[in-house]
C-alpha cells in the first residue's frame, strides 16, 4: 500500500470540545465507610477530548488542523488552548462564561476504569453563539485555505438544527469536503454531506428516522434507501469488533472485518476513524483501502489505554 502523506491538506474540525481527565491509582481494598473501592492516587493527566481529539488526530497524521467550538471561561478551557498549542492545532475558541467546558474524569486502577465523573451542560447553544460560530468560520475562510470540515457531534448542545443547516450550506458553497460523525439526537439532520460515519447503534437510529427498520445484518438494499433519503455520498458504519461497513458514491458496498484482537479501551477509536476517512478521501484513496486503513487505525487506539492519537509514522509502518 502506498505511503500516506496528508501534509498538503487542511481540515477544520467543528464540534463539541471536551477535556479527558485521567486519575490513575491502585485499588487494594474496599472502603469501610461504604462498599466502594479505595483508589490510591498515583498520578493524573489531561488530554484533548471530543472534537479536540479529532483535531489532534488530524495534526498527528501530518495535516494542518483547525479546531472551532464552544468552551467555558474556566481552567478546562485553558487546558484545551495550551494542549492545542503543544499539538500544532490552530484553536479558535468561542467562549461562553455561562457554560463550563465539558470535563470527563475517569478513575483508572491498573488498566480498569472504575468510575467516570462528567461536568457538562448539554442544552442547545444560544442564537448569539450560533452567530459567533458562523462569523468565526467566515473569518477562517478568508485567512485559511480549508479542504474539509469535520462536524463532530456528541450531543452536548453545539449542533442546533439551524446551525447544522447553515454550516452544511456554507461548506458546500466553499466546495469543502463535509464529513460528519453524528450522535443520536441529530443523526437524521446531517443531509447532503460527503461522508456520514455513524456507529452501529447510531445507524439503526438513522434508519428509524427515515422510516426503515433494519434486521441484525446490514443489507445493501436497505443501506441504499437510507443513503438516498439522507443524500449522503458516502456512508460508513463502524461495527466495533465486526469491523467497518461502507457504501460509497460508486454504489459499492462491503463489510471489512477488523483484525484487532487485543482490545484494552475503545475510547477515541471513532475519532481516529473519522480523521482517517476524511484525509484519505481528500487524497483519493479507494474505499476498500480506506476501510483497511481505518480498521488498522481504530485497532491502534483500542490496543492502548485512554484516548490516544494516530501517529502518521506508526500508521505507515503498519501499512507497509
Report all structural domains of the chain as residue ranges with CATH numbers, in order of start.
10-319 (3.40.1190.20)
Q: Specify which residues 11 forms β-bridges with.
A: 65, 148
Residue 264 CB-half CA count within 13 A? 12
- pLDDT band at 44; cut points 50, 70, 90: very high
pLDDT averaged over the chain?
90
74-88, 164-178, 195-209, 295-309: the lowest-pLDDT one? 295-309
pLDDT of residue 137: 97
Length of the chain: 320
Q: Which whole number is the average pLDDT over 172-176?
A: 96
Q: How many other β-carbons are positioned within 10 Å of the β-carbon of residue 34?
A: 6
Q: Which whole number is the average pLDDT over 106-110?
A: 93
Q: Which whole number is the average pLDDT over 92-109?
A: 95
pLDDT at 30 over 60: yes
Residue 154 and residue 152: Cα distance in Å, rounded? 7
pLDDT of residue 305: 55
Cell of 301: 487506539
- pLDDT band at 265; cut points 50, 70, 90: very low
Cell of 94: 468561542
pLDDT digits (tens, 9 = 90+) for 144-155: 999 999 999 999
Residue with cell 477562517: 140
pLDDT of residue 13: 98
pLDDT at 9 over 70: yes
**Does residue 310 contact residue 300 with C-beta atoms inside 8 Å?**
yes
Residue 222 and residue 226: Cα distance in Å, rounded? 6
User: Alpha-carbon dihedral of residues 106, 304, 309, 100, nearest 10 degrees?
Assistant: 0
pLDDT at 101 over 60: yes
Cell of 287: 474505499
DSSP 1-66: -PPP--TT-EEEEEE-EEEEEEEEEEEEEE-SSSSSEEEEEEEEEEEEEEHHHHHHHHHHTTSEEE
Residue 47 and residue 53: Cα distance in Å, rounded? 8
pLDDT of residue 261: 54
- pLDDT band at 281; cut points 50, 70, 90: very high
**Does residue 92 contact residue 66 with C-beta atoms inside 8 Å?**
yes
Q: What is the side-by-side strand order in the sheet with 64-71?
A: 89-95, 64-71, 10-15, 148-152, 177-181, 195-196, 234-238, 244-247, 253-256
Residue 192 and residue 172: Cα distance in Å, rounded? 9
Q: Specify which residues 71 forms β-bridges with.
A: 95
Q: Which whole number is the average pLDDT over 41-46?
A: 95
99-103, 170-174, 282-286, 307-311: the lowest-pLDDT one? 307-311
pLDDT of residue 220: 75
**Does residue 187 contact residue 157 with C-beta atoms inside 8 Å?**
no
pLDDT at 215 over 80: no
pLDDT digits (tens, 9 = 90+) for 237-261: 988 778 889 999 998 988 888 765 5
Q: How many other β-carbons are positioned within 10 Å of the β-carbon of residue 117?
A: 11
Catalytic residues: 271
Q: Specify which residues 65 forms β-bridges with.
A: 11, 89
Record the pTM.
0.92
- pLDDT band at 304; cut points 50, 70, 90: low
**Does residue 74 contact residue 291 with C-beta atoms inside 8 Å?**
no
pLDDT of residue 268: 60
**Does residue 256 contact residue 286 with C-beta atoms inside 8 Å?**
no
**Does residue 272 contact residue 315 with C-beta atoms inside 8 Å?**
no
14 contact partners, CB below 8 Å, separation of at least 6 = 51, 68, 69, 133, 137, 149, 150, 151, 152, 158, 167
pLDDT of residue 307: 63
Higher per-residue confidence, 213 vs 109 = 109
pLDDT of residue 314: 85
Q: What is the side-by-side strand order in the sheet with 112-119?
A: 37-50, 17-30, 102-109, 112-119
- Give the residue among 265, 296, 260, 266 at the shortest CA–CA distance from 280: 296
Amino acid at each position: 500500500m502506498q505511503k500516506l502523506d496528508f501534509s498538503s491538506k487542511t481540515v477544520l474540525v467543528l464540534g463539541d470540545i471536551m477535556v479527558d481527565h485521567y486519575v490513575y491509582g491502585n485499588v487494594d481494598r474496599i472502603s469501610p465507610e461504604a462498599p466502594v473501592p479505595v483508589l490510591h492516587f498515583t498520578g493524573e493527566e489531561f488530554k484533548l477530548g471530543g472534537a479536540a481529539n479529532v483535531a489532534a488526530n488530524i495534526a498527528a497524521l501530518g495535516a494542518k488542523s483547525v479546531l472551532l467550538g464552544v468552551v467555558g471561561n474556566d481552567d478546562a478551557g485553558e487546558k484545551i488552548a495550551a494542549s492545542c498549542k503543544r499539538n500544532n492545532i490552530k484553536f479558535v475558541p468561542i467562549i461562553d462564561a455561562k457554560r463550563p467546558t465539558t470535563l470527563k474524569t475517569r478513575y483508572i486502577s491498573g488498566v480498569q476504569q472504575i468510575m467516570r465523573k462528567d461536568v457538562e451542560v448539554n442544552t442547545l447553544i444560544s442564537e448569539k453563539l450560533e452567530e459567533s460560530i458562523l462569523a468565526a468560520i467566515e473569518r477562517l475562510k478568508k485567512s485559511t485555505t480549508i479542504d474539509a470540515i469535520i462536524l463532530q457531534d456528541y450531543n452536548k448542545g453545539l449542533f442546533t438544527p439551524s446551525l447544522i443547516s447553515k454550516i452544511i450550506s456554507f461548506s458546500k458553497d466553499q466546495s469543502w469536503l463535509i464529513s460528519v460523525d453524528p450522535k443520536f439526537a441529530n443523526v437524521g439532520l446531517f443531509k447532503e454531506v460527503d461522508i456520514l460515519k455513524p456507529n452501529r447503534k447510531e445507524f439503526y437510529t438513522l434508519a428509524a428516522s427515515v422510516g426503515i427498520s433494519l434486521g441484525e445484518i446490514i443489507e445493501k438494499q436497505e443501506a441504499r434507501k437510507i443513503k438516498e433519503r439522507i443524500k449522503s455520498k458516502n456512508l460508513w458504519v463502524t461495527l466495533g469488533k465486526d469491523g467497518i461497513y461502507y457504501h460509497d458514491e460508486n454504489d459499492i458496498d462491503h463489510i471489512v472485518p477488523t483484525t484487532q484482537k487485543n482490545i484494552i479501551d475503545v475510547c477515541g477509536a471513532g475519532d481516529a476513524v473519522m480523521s482517517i476517512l476524511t484525509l484519505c478521501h481528500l487524497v483519493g484513496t479507494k474505499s476498500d483501502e480506506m476501510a483497511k486503513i481505518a480498521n488498522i487505525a481504530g485497532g491502534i487506539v483500542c490496543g492502548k489505554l485512554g484516548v490516544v492519537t494516530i501517529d502518521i509514522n506508526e500508521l505507515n509502518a503498519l501499512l507497509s
